Structure 1
Amino acid sequence: MKNKKILVCDDDQGILDVLEIMLEMQEFTAITEIDSTKVITRICENKPDLILLDLWMPLLSGEQILRSIRSIEEIKDTPVIVFSASVEGDDIAFEAGADSFIAKPFDMNEIVSKINLLLDKSSQRKTLAEL
């Protein structure tokens, strides 16, 4: 799974910094975005292999962003992990089309495990589609 691109969107610079360091330690390429209004453009430009998305952000929520991702043909199949401190966050995330959910505060090992699991599933789907 080395060299896979992971795009992270959160309105908290501290969380972005920690996730960027953690992802790069796992040999992923981390792309971070703090401005929720720019994330769809960044996704279309960078074509990440997976997206980590905060649910509650100002201007555009993670739910709104996720619904947009799922409606754009070129990026609709990109795996998305939503994270949130909200009690109802998992229900909202899955209803909007998330592939996985992680509660804040999160465990780094859990994030890496879920990323690897979803990337494995995604590459298997692509392989099957090519047959």
Structure 2
Amino acid sequence: MKNKKVMICDDDHDNLNISEFLLEFEGYIVIKEIDSTNLINKINENNPDILLVDMWMPVLCGGGIIKIIRVDSKNKELPIIAFSASYESDKAAIEAGENHYISKPFNIDDFTKLISKLVS
């Protein structure tokens, strides 16, 4: 997946670093953001091919981010994978407009295959 950019937003440093390691190993360019309030600007600056977003973050939650993206004419088609360890986050993610939801912890092979499918 050379030159495909994956943006990850999670308020947990360990989750960001592990995801970055896994995805860079697969050949992706990884852009990380820990502060959800910076995410929309970072998306506009970097034009990622896919967004991975945690559903439960301080200040601006993943569902709120997804809703903002879905009404933005420039980014509304951006593939989004929402993830969380919280029970029933999948319902909030679906209502917000994500393309797919993954529960934490997730299977690494399923995770990378799903990303590959959504960016190709």
TM-score range, shorter chain: over 0.9
- TM-score (structure 1 length as normaliser): 0.89
**Would you tell me which structure has more helix in proportion to its own residues?**
1
Shift of residue 57, structure 1, vs aligned partner: 0.2
CA drift at 1:107: 1.7
Letter of the aligned partner of 2:115 in structure 1? I
AA in 2 matched with 1:5? K
User: Aligned partner of 1:80: which letter?
Assistant: I
> Deviation of residue 63 (structure 1)?
0.3
Is residue 2:5 matched to residue 1:5? yes
- Counterpart of 1:90 in structure 2 is 90
Q: Say which SS state the counterpart of residue 114 (structure 2) adopts.
A: helix
111-120 vs 43-52, which deviates more? 111-120
Q: Distance in 2 between matches of 1:35 and 1:21?
A: 19
SS at match of 1:3: coil
1: distance between equivalents of 2:73 and 2:96?
16
Q: Which residue of 2 aligns with 1:25?
A: 25
Which structure is larger by alpha-carbon Rg, 1 or 2? 1
Over the aligned positions, Cα root-mean-square deviation in angstroms equals 0.7
Count of aligned positions:
120
Quick one: distance in 1 between partners of 2:109 and 2:102?
A: 11
Q: Tell me what 2:112 maps to.
A: 112
Query: What TM-score, normalized by structure 2, do the two folds share?
Result: 0.97
Matches within 5 A, 1:1-131: 1-120=1-120
Deviation of 1:2 (Å): 2.0
In structure 2, runs of 5+ residues without a counterpart are none
Q: Which runs of 5+ in 1 are unaligned?
A: 121-131
- Provide the rounded CA distance (Å) in 2 between the counterparts of 1:111 and 1:48: 17
